[in-house]
């Protein structure tokens, strides 16, 4: 299979998984009566996924197999910690609130929080 066909298959698979998970989440929300600002969350997640996708492509380009998943996981955990995804940066060591606003995960989570708070 050529590289173009493989890339197309991977993109199609990811698109299908996104649609299935969105449908499942919407179905659960409708059945349970939970009101969620789906449009706002989607519009916040969409531009935030671009830097993360580019970071993943860069890792896969620079790191030789089979190491990219390991490097990606370590980088994601570090960015999530520093970005304040698990707890507010103010509750973390003093250097974290200083660098937290500069991480892509922090900007991304603030966009999602704004979408939820404005609902």
Q: Is residue 119 over pLDDT 70?
A: no
Has this prediction a pTM greater than 0.85?
no
More confident call, 78 vs 27: 78
Distance (Å, rounded) from C-alpha 67 to C-alpha 53? 17
Q: How far apart are CA 119 and CA 40, in angstroms?
A: 8
d(CA 32, CA 4) in angstroms, rounded, equals 42
List of residues 6+ apart from 82 with CB closer than 8 A: 89, 96, 99, 100, 103, 105, 106
Q: Name the DSSP letter for residue 63.
A: S
* Predicted pLDDT at 12: 74
């Amino acid at each position: 299979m050529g590289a173009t066909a493989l890339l197309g298959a991977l993109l199609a698979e990811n698109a299908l998984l996104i649609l299935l998970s969105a449908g499942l989440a919407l179905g659960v929300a409708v059945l349970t009566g939970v009101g969620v600002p789906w449009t706002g969350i989607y519009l916040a997640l969409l531009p935030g996924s671009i830097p993360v996708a580019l970071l993943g492509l860069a890792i896969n380009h620079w790191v030789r197999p089979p190491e990219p998943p390991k490097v990606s996981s370590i980088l994601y955990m570090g960015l999530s910690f520093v970005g304040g995804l698990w707890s507010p940066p103010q509750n973390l060591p003093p250097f974290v609130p200083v660098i937290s606003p500069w991480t892509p995960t922090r900007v991304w989570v603030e966009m999602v929080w704004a979408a939820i708070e404005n609902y």
